[in-house]
Structure 1
């Protein structure tokens, strides 16, 4: 049984930066005027329909910023082309630009 003192001394193991999966940031703009939630749902549905649930989970989309006129989406680098294809085929929105950092992706806004 672990006593309280030794459990406090245990350190949380962190993943080395070289082992983390690299991400790219996509700026997506809607094709017509929509409400934020409708735009978000349309993009999410387009990704799931095109990629399927399994590849959707592998792509790991994270919505960094959701606004009425754009979405900043983070995706694992291997799946950037698939995500762009899903958006193109669904007519949910269009990808304006892709960047490796959030700061540089702001130039597409």
Structure 2
């Protein structure tokens, strides 16, 4: 199968239903972005969506070893895989690029990540 470029992905309808919990995460994340991505306990500028999902899950009382967290984590990774995206750094061309974003605390400014989160917050 041929992969769908991310640009084209944003022009297509969402491929499948998404859990309410993962939708809540994407909504909270985009609200944080819209608020200027202030440094706070829940979300971090030096983390991508997966890292921020983990932090958010803890903030809402989820056990990271529990079924609920594992399900939304798997769901997010499944979303990436369904678009033939790398599960470790889906919005970057390389791990080095992601690490640079993390080191400079600019992960929250990655336009592809923002578009993805907004699209899934709908």
Give the TM-score of the pair, scaled to structure 2.
0.26
Q: Which has the higher strand share?
A: 1
Which of the pair is proportionally richer in helix?
2
Please say which structure displays the higher CA radius of gyration: 1
| TM-score of the two chains, using structure 1 as the length reference | 0.28
